[in-house]
Structure formats: structure tokens, C-alpha cells
């Protein structure tokens, strides 16, 4: 990884942890809306001890204490750089919760707290993920368990969180559990946007009998290069050209016009692309 990219990844981790802590202390915790994972467990314990048992305890400290065994466990099972970044994210996150805690809460409206808390938390967690770390120990465990039992990380995290939100609903009222679950879905969507980007890139596969002519038009009109594959029809046994290219959502309309302008039979599929690794550069400006 280039030095600039490495610096950027650490910057995203730190900024993400700060934003997530802001969401937690200014929107979620004051309104008894709970995050998932270790943070959610810590929030439940903190509320029970502070409100019902009269035992003062800082949320940030509890987050560090409960996450510590997961960090140590992950250090032996996952890459050291990943764990180091996660540890830094957790330390910054925990410290900033103590900074934001004394400040005046942004809102006491539950819907506003769920919506904006979920958005800010999603931005924060998404930045940490883009930087190469995580903000919760349960994600580390889920990564390890997914390799052992062939269960997706997302499924394991969802199972953890369903248990946590069920406990929150039982202890603090069903509405708190439902608000927390709603916040979780908002956060998950924002995480996807932050982690994957706003581009809504599309992959296009075109099956045609005249691939070279169509590829030339795509290059001339959109500035996009294509990859050639060779195929054969099951029934006709005719040789087919298969063109593969990646375009933005805004270019889909122009691409369809190009395809429709070509004589002969074509078959096209268009799919979403969640992430592109490597360089895919335009060679020239659009002329269409």
C-alpha cells in the first residue's frame, strides 16, 4: 500500500471513530436507543448500573473492557495490522464518548434520534471499515467463526444483534427494542453507501455476433474499453463475441442507444457492482 493510502486509511479510522462516538452520545444513548454488538451490550449494562443500581460507570470504559478479550483473541487469528487498526479505532471511540457525554443532547425526539443517530453511526462505522478496521469485537469473532462454520459474517452479526435488541426490549420496553432495530437498519444502509461509494457502478455483458464494431462504438462514444470473451450458442453452435465493460449509472442510457443502433442480434445483461479494485479510467470525454 502506498504511503498516502496508508495515511488516508488511518485518518478514516480516526474520523470514523469520532463520528460514531458523537452519534452514540448525542443521539442514541440519551434516548435509550441501543447499538448492536459489544457497544450495545455496554450501553445496556451502563443503563442498568447507573439508573437502577446507582453504580456510576462510564460507557467508554466499559466498551474498552468488554472489547479487550475480543481484540486479544483476534490478534492470534487475524492479521496484526487489522487488529491494530481496530484497537486504535476502539480507543479513539471510547475516549470520544467521554468527551461528548457532558454536552447537551441534540434531540429528545425518538424518530429524529433514530434517523440521525443511525446516519451518523453508519458514516462513522463505514469510514472505519473503509480504513481497514472494525469498531466492535463481535465483528472480529464473526470473522473467525465464518471461516470455521461457513456462515457469512453478516448473518452472524445479525444473530448477535437480534439477541441484544431482544434483551434491550425486555429490559427497557418493547418500543426501545424496535427503535434500536430501526436504527440498525438505517445504520447498515449508510455503512454500505460509505464503504462502497455513491457511484452505483454497473457491469455490462453483451453477447453479439459483431463484437468488434460494437466495442469500437462504445469506446468512441463513451470512452470505455471492453474485454472480449468468446462463446458458443448451445443450439446454433455459432461463435459469439461476449463484451464485458463497466459503466456508471448515468451512462446506461447512452449505452443502450449504442447497442440498439447496431444491426444484428444482441443480448445484454446489466448488473450492480459493489466495488472495483484497480484502475478503470476513461480514455476520452463522451461524444454522444
The CATH number assigned to the domain holding 242 equals: 3.30.70.120
- Rounded to two decimals, the pTM is 0.74
Domain count along the chain: 2
The answer as to whether 287 is a domain residue is no
Is it the case that residue 266 has pLDDT exceeding 90? no
**184, 211: one domain:** no
pLDDT at 283: 44
Determine how β-strand 239-247 pairs with β-strand 227-232.
Answer: antiparallel
The answer as to whether 207 is a domain residue is yes
**102, 177: one domain:** yes
The answer as to whether 286 is a domain residue is no
Domain boundary among the residues 143, 171, 196 is at 196
**133, 232: one domain:** no
Which pLDDT tens digit goes with each residue over 83-130?
Answer: 889 889 999 999 999 999 888 888 889 999 999 999 999 999 989 988
Residue (of 217, 18, 29) closest to 114 by Cα position? 29
* Stretch 19-42: mean pLDDT: 91
Is it the case that residue 196 has pLDDT exceeding 70? no
**58, 157: one domain:** yes
Flag the least confident range among 26-40, 85-99, 134-148.
134-148
The answer as to whether 277 is a domain residue is no
Cell of 228: 472480449
**142, 47: one domain:** yes
Domain boundary among the residues 172, 196, 220 is at 196
CA–CA gap between residue 186 and residue 190 (Å, rounded): 6
CA dihedral over 113, 115, 116, 117, signed as positive or negative: positive
The answer as to whether 24 is a domain residue is yes
Domain with 219 in it: 202-272
CA–CA gap between residue 78 and residue 192 (Å, rounded): 23
CA–CA gap between residue 133 and residue 143 (Å, rounded): 12
The answer as to whether 279 is a domain residue is no
Band (pLDDT 50/70/90 cuts) for residue 248 is: confident
Amino acid at each position: 500500500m502506498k504511503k498516502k493510502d496508508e495515511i488516508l486509511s488511518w485518518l478514516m479510522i480516526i474520523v470514523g471513530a469520532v463520528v460514531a462516538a458523537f452519534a452514540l452520545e448525542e443521539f442514541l444513548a440519551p434516548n435509550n436507543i441501543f447499538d448492536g454488538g459489544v457497544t450495545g451490550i455496554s450501553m445496556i449494562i451502563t443503563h442498568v448500573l447507573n439508573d437502577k443500581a446507582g453504580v456510576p460507570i462510564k460507557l467508554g470504559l466499559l466498551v474498552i473492557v468488554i472489547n479487550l478479550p475480543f481484540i486479544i483473541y483476534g490478534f492470534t487469528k487475524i492479521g496484526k495490522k487489522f487488529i491494530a487498526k481496530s484497537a486504535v479505532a476502539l480507543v479513539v471511540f471510547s475516549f470520544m464518548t467521554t468527551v461528548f457525554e457532558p454536552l447537551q443532547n441534540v434531540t429528545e425526539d425518538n424518530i429524529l434520534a433514530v434517523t440521525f443517530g443511525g446516519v451518523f453511526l453508519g458514516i462513522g462505522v463505514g469510514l472505519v471499515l473503509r480504513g481497514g478496521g472494525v469498531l466492535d469485537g463481535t465483528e472480529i469473532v464473526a470473522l473467525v467463526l465464518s471461516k470455521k462454520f461457513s456462515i457469512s459474517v453478516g448473518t452472524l452479526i445479525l444473530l448477535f444483534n437480534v439477541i441484544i435488541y431482544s434483551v434491550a426490549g425486555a429490559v427497557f420496553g418493547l418500543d426501545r427494542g424496535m427503535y434500536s432495530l430501526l436504527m440498525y437498519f438505517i445504520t447498515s444502509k449508510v455503512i454500505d453507501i460509505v464503504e462502497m461509494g455513491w457511484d452505483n457502478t454497473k457491469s455490462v455483458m453483451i453477447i453479439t455476433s459483431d463484437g468488434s464494431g460494437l466495442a469500437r462504438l462504445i469506446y468512441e462514444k463513451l470512452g470505455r474499453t471492453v474485454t472480449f470473451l468468446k462463446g458458443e450458442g448451445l443450439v446454433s453452435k455459432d461463435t459469439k463475441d461476449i463484451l464485458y465493460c463497466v459503466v456508471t449509472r448515468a451512462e446506461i442510457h447512452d449505452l443502450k442507444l449504442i447497442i440498439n443502433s447496431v444491426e444484428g442480434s444482441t443480448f445484454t445483461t446489466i448488473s450492480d457492482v459493489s466495488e472495483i479494485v484497480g484502475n478503470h479510467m476513461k480514455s476520452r470525454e463522451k461524444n454522444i
